Structure 1
Amino acid sequence: MTGRYCSLAQQSAPAFTPGLTAERLGALIAGRAMWVNGTVLHYYFFDGAEDGSVIPVPGTGQSRRVSWVGAEEQRDVVRACFREWQDLGTGISFVEVGDRSEAELRIGFQVGDGSWSAVGKDCLQAGQQERTMNFGWDLTAPGERGTALHEIGHALGMLHEHQSPYAGIHWDDEAVYADLAGPPNFWSRETTFFNILRKLDPAEVNGSVWDPQSIMEYPFSGGLILEPEQFRAGLNPPGTLSPADKEFALRWYPPADLPRLPALEPFRSVPLRLAPGEQADFVIDPPETREYTVGTFGANDCVLVLFEERDDEPRYVAGRDDGGQPHNATMKARLVKGRRYYVRVRLYSAWGPGETAVMCW
């Protein structure tokens, strides 16, 4: 019998403009869920009596509320796992908040609903009353701390390692379907296919080789994997961050150096000499209070995000993603003299001749 597994929600494949080159399409797939580096992700634990799912009571015609509130010892495990990811020294940081309206990550502990998380920026599509992450079993039980590390990996944009096309796994499909249909998961064939058997696009995966030690790898009991031969008796990752996990996080989110950011001054264009996946960061100290426009120029696909510094922390103001579109990313925002703002531009790809640039005016 297999263990309890994370179950990602099935979503429609992202729609891209027809006719994109393979290079542009691959870059968009690889980076669509990733945050711009330097983002502070705020997390919130549901804690009210009204927080929960309303589910029907079989045979009664009535319903009841199932709580999303977790015990303090459960929250402490999740807090410790956020610290472990942050202690890698990435440019992403995590801050707990007591107001759900300030949180990008909203965490519940509904028992029986499985453990799962939105992947990267997908959490921004959820309403403020909705969870973006859930833990469906006791995280303090032996061996279960890895569940929290795993779900935070999803929140950073990582996907399941066993679904990598580089894994070379040959499954006994019917054995997998039968195993996941039983306890403790009780998955449908559709859920099992989406989370186990489906192969990811090469551009989506965490690296160019399979890492069976990854925190994003499931354990599997014997008889489910036919090849590679050494895993026929089972696959048992340690449930900790592997060297490749750490390398992935630091590659996408390298340490940020805010004090040395170049200035983005009104009406002065700054060239963007970036490779796919790279990011440029700028600071704006507005010379006057008014509405400004910030935008990119040239043949590029990018994500453009504006933050305001509050209490020594960059807080999200506005963002635009022009990936796969024929136009560039622009946004308007009222900037106040005496306050500091940060502009972050992450490039998917530059696909045409000529220089790309960013400017505020």
Structure 2
Amino acid sequence: MDTPFCCTARHWPDLNAAHENAILINPDNAGHRATGRIQKRAVGKVNKFWKPGSTLKISFWDAWGPIPEDLRQAIFEAGCKWLPYVNLKFERVANRRDGDIKIAVVNSNDNFSMFGTDARMAADASMVLGIKPTDPKFQYAVIHEFGHALGAEHEHQHPDANIPWDEEEVYAYYAKKNVSRADVDEQVLSKLDRAGLLNTPYDRKSIMHYPVPQALTKGDWTVGTNLKISRKDRRFMRLAYPA
């Protein structure tokens, strides 16, 4: 069975502070609740995009443990796979506290990213990678987490996904990985509220989509591991970060 990749897109708990931060970084976020072309984008929060044309500083949070240079560069290069589709630049910086996106590597199965501009509010790491560089899904996992850091939600939680989950099988599977039912609900099963989202039609090929093994669904329904940025992923980023 294909092993589903599991991560957490973390939103800053103080919604008002997060929104004020987003507007400070990108004043256009104040108007992203409007209808119109914004409604045509892929799933993503409307008010936490970085300012188009800006350079995001990428640092490595080595306070939690050493990160070899070759691993730092591999992570950075994987994140840069988004750059052809966004009006942004990435710059590696040496001081871990100077990063807009601050990346830690941990010896566990934890993978998460703060969502969009929320990353700048983190006092320590805003992105954590537990996946090992020897894992065949390493580059996919890094691209996926950078997608969250740029403002893309989980595609399997798209309001139109309609995945026929076998919920008890899903809970049992993640329980073996010490993931609580509440976290499974939040990161896997719950659909995103259409209000306040940017969305295009649901995309089974999105790199922001979890793999969906047959064993976790009812009927004939699967999604493999989408290892590449899809056409609709590219469309989303170009609309979120126009030239």
* TM-score, normalization by structure 2: 0.82
Offset of 1:205 from its aligned partner? 4.6
Do the aligned partners of 1:77 and 1:148 also contact (CA within 8 Å) in 2?
no
In structure 1, how many angstroms separate the alpha carbons of the residues matched to 2:195 and 2:155? 13
**Partner of residue 242, structure 1:** 230
Offset of 1:73 from its aligned partner? 3.2
Query: 1:163 aligned to 2:151?
Result: no
* TM-score, normalization by structure 1: 0.56
Deviations 1:304-353, CA, capped at 9 Å, x for gaps: xxxxxxxxxxxxxxxxxxxxxxxxxxxxxxxxxxxxxxxxxxxxxxxxxx
Letter of the 2:57 partner, please give it.
H
Higher relative contact order (CA 8 A, sep 6+): 2
Offset of 1:243 from its aligned partner? 0.4
Deviations 1:253-291, CA, capped at 9 Å, x for gaps: 012xxxxxxxxxxxxxxxxxxxxxxxxxxxxxxxxxxxx
- Higher helix fraction (1 or 2): 2
Offset of 1:33 from its aligned partner? 1.5
Do the aligned partners of 2:56 and 2:91 also contact (CA within 8 Å) in 1?
yes
**Partner of residue 200, structure 2:** 208
In structure 1, how many angstroms separate the alpha carbons of the residues matched to 2:164 and 2:198? 20
In structure 2, how many angstroms separate the alpha carbons of the residues matched to 1:13 and 1:45? 25
**Partner of residue 295, structure 1:** none
- List runs of 5+ in structure 1 lacking aligned partners: 17-23, 53-66, 256-361
Match of 2:168 among 170, 174, 183: 174
- List runs of 5+ in structure 2 lacking aligned partners: 20-30, 36-43
Q: Superposition RMSD on alpha carbons, in Å?
A: 2.4
Offset of 1:11 from its aligned partner? 5.3
Greater Rg by CA = 1
Letter of the 2:145 partner, please give it.
E
* TM-aligned CA distance change 1:72 to 1:3, over 3 Å: farther
Do the aligned partners of 1:30 and 1:203 also contact (CA within 8 Å) in 2?
no
Letter of the 1:159 partner, please give it.
E
Q: Percentage identity across aligned positions? A: 29
Query: 1:94 aligned to 2:90?
Result: yes
Query: 1:3 aligned to 2:4?
Result: yes
Do the aligned partners of 1:107 and 1:134 also contact (CA within 8 Å) in 2?
yes
Offset of 1:31 from its aligned partner? 1.8
* Counterpart secondary structure, 1:170: coil
In structure 2, how many angstroms separate the alpha carbons of the residues matched to 1:160 and 1:239? 15
* TM-aligned CA distance change 1:150 to 1:167, over 3 Å: same
Deviations 1:62-86, CA, capped at 9 Å, x for gaps: xxxxx2x323332222121232211
In structure 1, how many angstroms separate the alpha carbons of the residues matched to 2:116 and 2:96? 18
**Partner of residue 292, structure 1:** none
* TM-aligned CA distance change 1:123 to 1:109, over 3 Å: same
**Partner of residue 58, structure 2:** 43
Query: 1:72 aligned to 2:66?
Result: no
Do the aligned partners of 1:220 and 1:235 also contact (CA within 8 Å) in 2?
yes
Deviations 1:139-173, CA, capped at 9 Å, x for gaps: 34223210000000001000100001111123211
Offset of 1:238 from its aligned partner? 2.5
Query: 1:120 aligned to 2:112?
Result: no
* TM-aligned CA distance change 1:158 to 1:200, over 3 Å: same
Deviations 1:97-155, CA, capped at 9 Å, x for gaps: 0013321111000111511100101112211xx10001102134223210000000001
